[in-house]
Chains A and B, each alone.
Chain A
Amino acid sequence: MQNCACKVEFEFDNSAAQLVSSLEYMLGQIAGNIPPQADAGDILFRCKVIITELLTNAIKHAGKGNTRFDIGIDAQKLVICKTDNGMPLYLVNTRNNTTNGNTAFNRRLISSDFLNSLYAIWESENNIRFASEEGSLNDFLPVEQVMEHFGILIITRSSDEFTYSYDKATRTNVFTVRINF
């Protein structure tokens, strides 16, 4: 599993009815393995929102069959890997092919409003890293300009690294989220 030294393995059946129980199970496993130097409250909050969004993504996109979660924890980091064989992320095959190795061309704005901007950065053909930036305005804003899709943004903002890869040969989607302690 993609350099993921996993300690917890969990199979999710992609049903909304099992969302909360699955979340609580994984959070329970994480809670018992957070190293003492880490801020457990902050780590658990971040894991809660990240795993919730990964489960929601599975319900929406993973289709039939199960979605696998692998969670690895060591002294420096926590890594959550979500693997499924559903439809690839809509960004696959949308990379700008005129990149010529220029990192500026590897970055694409995928959503933006006055609050947040979300970017996809192609590390390679089928490997995408997400990044976000805060908007510059801090006053109350015209709500009609605010986006309504927050899943990828929530994971990006809650993690130290969030990547997606797609294996065309096996039709496998892997979302990997890293939180540093």
Chain B
Amino acid sequence: MITIVKESPKYLIGEVTITEANLSNSDEFKAELVKLLDEHQKILILDLQELKYVDSAFLGALVSALKYAMSMKLDIVLAGLRSDIRDLIKLIRLDKVFKIYNYAEEASFAVNKM
């Protein structure tokens, strides 16, 4: 579900390989996020460009994982979102809690400057 494509001392870039993220796989998705955070102890940049459909269960899993990351003094950063998914995130104002970038490289540049 998440493939690590780059790792630096400060962050991981994980490509989300599913196209549909909904209640049927949201628990598994959250478990993968938690496992990556536990094993690598780094900021996680999620490249979501393959994702076409999401629902509230997926967004809930993302928020739950972000809380876990924050409790470890880490972060989950979103990149590559389709415009309609980004609009959905803005609709419920989650753009106030997630850092969102157009591309994973752009996100990694910003993370390096933190």
Contact = CB atoms under 8 A, between A and B. Distances in A.
A23 interface: yes
A158 interface: yes
Interface in A31-83: 45, 48-49, 52-53, 55-56, 59-60
Contact of B67 (A140, A143, A149, A154): A143
A116 B93 CA distance: 8
B36 interface: no
Most buried by A among B24, B56, B71, B84: B56
Interface stretch (B7-15, B39-47, B58-66, B103-111): B58-66
Interface residues of B, number: 26
Given A115-B94, A143-B66, A143-B67, A53 B56 contact: yes
Interface of B: 20, 22-24, 53-57, 59-60, 63-64, 66-67, 70-71, 84, 87-88, 91-94, 96-97
A123 interface: no
Main SS of the interface on chain A?
helix
A144 B88 CA distance: 21
Contacts of A60: 23
A56 B94 CA distance: 20
Most buried by B among A48, A56, A143: A143
Contacts of A140: 96-97
Interface of A: 16-17, 19-20, 23, 45, 48-49, 52-53, 55-56, 59-60, 115-116, 134-135, 137-141, 143-144, 146-151, 153-154, 157-158
A16 B67 contact: no
Nearest to B75: A143
